[in-house]
Amino acid sequence: MASEPATQVELEAEQRLVEEAQQGNLDAMRPILERYAQPLYGTVILPRLGDAVSAEEVLRDTLATAVEKIQRFTWQGKSIYPWLRQIAINKVFDVHRQSKRSRKLADAMAHEVASETDPDSHADAQLMADQERRAHRDRIDETMQLLQERYRTAIELRLIQELSREDCAKRLGVTIGTFDVLLFRAVRAFRKHFGGDT
């Protein structure tokens, strides 16, 4: 896997490509990005988001940002992977911050709408919100039951119990790389059954 330590020959090749890119030949970035795209997606982005569509968007943004900011990278005799990983993590945090802001805005708007109408309507709005949340939870539970057991377990361990990838892999008796693939497929299957895009 690309996140493993690179050999000296690989490092030298990577350094040459980085230098070419920094001199204006951005096509030189292509082999580097192709090598590290899957590890970034499977071990950095998807586990932190749990949503394949969002993870793919973040991966695209990460690779685009790496090309755009390659002049800022300083070669220190080590692989470029940690730099790419940090860009990916920053992008994931941006997604979480945006999501949190959206939820706060939605809550605030719901509160404003309720406070502008008669007092009883707030209770009605609260009741409707509670019913909607319950229905949503029920639908999630039903969807989980449609998944094969290993998919269900992968989602429960990583996204609900929030165990580390290492612990999840250990519980399932697989390697971390195999677990990443399993989780990706599990999330894709969940979205398909839930009604999202595959």
What's the rounded mean pLDDT across residues 129-156?
78
Q: Which of 20-29, 30-39, 97-106 has the lowest mean pLDDT?
A: 97-106
- State the pTM of this model: 0.52
Tokens of 38: 């899957």
Three-state DSSP at 20 gives: helix
Cβ atoms of residues 194 and 140 within 8 Å: yes
CA–CA distance, 66 with 84 (Å, rounded to integer): 7
End-to-end CA distance of the chain: 25
pLDDT given at position 25: 94
Q: List, for residues 143-160, the tens digit of each pLDDT value.
A: 888 889 999 899 888 877
Cβ atoms of residues 59 and 115 within 8 Å: no
pLDDT given at position 174: 92
Domains defined along the chain, listed by start: 1-116 (1.10.1740.10)
Cβ atoms of residues 187 and 46 within 8 Å: yes
CA–CA distance, 164 with 86 (Å, rounded to integer): 19
What's the rounded mean pLDDT across residues 106-135?
55
Tokens of 197: 């895009």
pLDDT given at position 1: 43
Q: List, for residues 70-103, the tens digit of each pLDDT value.
A: 999 999 988 999 999 999 999 998 887 877 766 6
Amino acid at 5: P
CA distances from 192 to 61, 137, 186 (A): 24, 17, 10
Long-range CB pairs of 22-26 (<8 Å, 24+ gap) are 22/70, 22/71, 22/73, 26/67, 26/70
pLDDT over 50 at 47, yes or no: yes
Mean pLDDT, the chain, as a whole number? 81
pLDDT given at position 189: 85
